[in-house]
Amino acid sequence: MSAWTQDRINLLKRLWPEGRSAETIALELGGGLTRNAVLGKVARLGLSEGRTGDRPQRAAAHRPAPEPPPDGVATILSVRRTDCRWPYGEPGDAAFSLCGRPSERGAFCAAHAAIAYRPAPLSVEGLMRLAGVAP
């Protein structure tokens, strides 16, 4: 026997357009229905369009101000193989530039290499190996 009786389907059709979450509807319908069961039934009934519930707008994520390029930056055409190629800005922007400071090894100067290359955190097994304890 299906967990979806006609009464439950009618209640789902009434609650879904109100903008309630699938989890809330599952709890209200009871009988061990899960959030995913509600979402599946909504999809099969074609109810996913036309929800009118008022949902609070999420605040826009805070983006830090872009880092201003230092004096003497290089362009993509002027950077040499031994110069730092740390980007400032977005590649499509007119103000896009590169660090241009000398790099001893690799693509970045020492300051930018410290940002770009960070060691991966050790796993529990890795820590145990370092400590000389068998996992």
Mean pLDDT for the chain overall: 82
- The model carries a pTM of 0.39
Give the per-residue SS3 of 58-79. Answer: CCCCCCCCCCCCCCCCECCCCC
| pLDDT-above-90 percentage for the chain | 23
Reported as a single tens digit per residue, the pLDDT across 51-62 is 655 667 778 777
- 13 is written with which tokens? 């059709």
Q: What is the mean pLDDT of residues 97-105?
A: 87
Q: What is the pLDDT of residues 12-37, one digit of tens each?
A: 999 998 888 999 999 999 888 999 99
End-to-end CA, the chain: 49
